[in-house]
Amino acid sequence: MRAADDERGEALAAFCRELAELVPGLVVVEELPGEDGPDPAILVGDGLIYAALPLGLELEPFLEALHRLAGQAAPLEPAEQAVLADVGLPAELRVYVVRQCPHCPVTLKALLPLPFFNSAVKLTVIDAELFPEKAAADDIRSVPVVLLDGRFRWTGELKAAEVLAVMRDRDPATLTAESLAGMLADGRAGQVTDFMLERDVIFPAFVELLVHPKWPVRLGAMVVAEELAAANPPLALRLVAPLWERFEHLGTALQGDVVYLFGALGALEMLSELEKLAGGEAGAAEEVREAAKDALAALRCT
């Protein structure tokens, strides 16, 4: 579990400690995130995150999830299993509940098994009363509410088959930057490249990864951009305009990476702008000027 130095984190930690005493063989590992780390939550395997105290009616579906983690629960219905097997895109599900809700456990029983049968599915259960700031950000006014990728929403009575069908049939172009970043982190950069090549389109969220504040995310996205340039140069060049639009608002490190990409993508239309950066006319930092010189050298060799 991820703990935190506040009342919510302590409550979740206390629940896990008590559960470990009651359930033979259950191992609880407590992680203390840094100052900018994630909110406190209980992690069940790799795909289920519980930002909630599974007490009262919510305890039974939570215990069923623990049984699934141990490989001791019943399989899904064959029809659901077949659809879930066809879900290839990362799916970020958020389920909002409150402890006194009689309908929330039904929704949880329907959805909690999903991440155990398909690693592309990540499911987060959030107690709307325990984390009111999250509920407010997602405009949660009643429960249960299920969100898929922050775009699709189900409120009240839920049919798992409908959620599964939407998960399977989504257009990759609608994936969020977070979902794409997750694919890169999972070593699926080639799949992101193939998605865009097959559709001859640059996903809008992909541009955000190229200017992401975290270097590992940027690096993964830059690898994809270079693969696009090798396979379909005209398609890769569609990245140039949106990157240049963002350029003046970026920090030095990000600007240097964008300038590098202009050279790697063969963006000949950027020659005059790169010359200005390299010559210091645009007031660029030394790091950016050097990157511009390298990009010009690359472009002049094309």
Last residue of a domain, one of 125, 153, 170: 170
Q: Which two tokens mark 269?
A: 């239309």
Q: Are residues 87 and 207 in the same domain?
A: no
Q: Is 2 within a domain? A: no
* pLDDT of 5: 57
Backbone angles phi, psi at 88, to 5 degrees: -105, -20
Residue 159's pLDDT is what?
83
**Three-state SS for 147?**
strand
242 half-sphere exposure, CB direction, 13 A CA radius: 14
186 and 82 in a common domain: no
Residue 205 near residue 168 (C-beta atoms within 8 A): no
For the chain of 302 residues, list the mean pLDDT of each consecutive stretch of 10: 71 88 76 64 91 91 89 83 90 93 92 92 95 93 91 86 90 85 85 92 94 94 96 97 96 95 96 91 87 93 75
Let me know if residue 106 belongs to a domain. Answer: yes
Instruction: Using the structure block, give the residue that is written with the tokens 């993964």.
Output: 220
**Same domain as 150, residue 192:** no
CATH number of domain containing 81: 3.40.30.80
Say which DSSP state 24 is in.
Answer: T
What pLDDT does 3 receive? 57
SS3 148: strand
Residue 157 belongs to a domain: yes
pLDDT the model gives residue 73: 74
Vertex 20: Cα angle to 18 and 25 (nearest 5): 160
161, 26: one domain: yes
My answer on whether 195 and 260 are in the same domain is yes
Of 144, 170, 196, which residue constitutes the final position of a domain?
Answer: 170
pLDDT of amino acid 126: 97
- Which residues partner with 48 through β-bridges? 44, 123
Helical (H) or strand (E) element with 118? none
Beta bridge mates, 125:
50, 95
Closest CA relative to residue 88, chosen from 191, 198, 197, 193: 191
User: 15 in a domain, yes or no?
Assistant: yes
Q: Are residues 129 and 213 in the same domain?
A: no
Closest CA to 52 of 119, 156, 135: 135
Q: Are 52 and 63 in contact (CB under 8 A)?
A: no
pLDDT of residue 239: 97
- Domain assignment of residue 268, given as a range: 173-300
pLDDT of 36 reads: 54
Q: Distance (Å, rounded) from C-alpha 36 to C-alpha 29?
A: 20
Conformational region of residue 210, where left means phi above 0, alpha means psi within -120 to 50, and beta covers everything else: alpha
Specify burial of residue 156 (Cβ count, 10 A radius: 0-12, 13-18, 19+). Answer: exposed
Same domain, 124 and 194: no
The answer to whether residues 155 and 244 belong to one domain is: no
| Total structural domains within the chain | 2
The pLDDT of residue 174: 82
Supply φ then ψ for residue 144, to 5 degrees: -75, 150
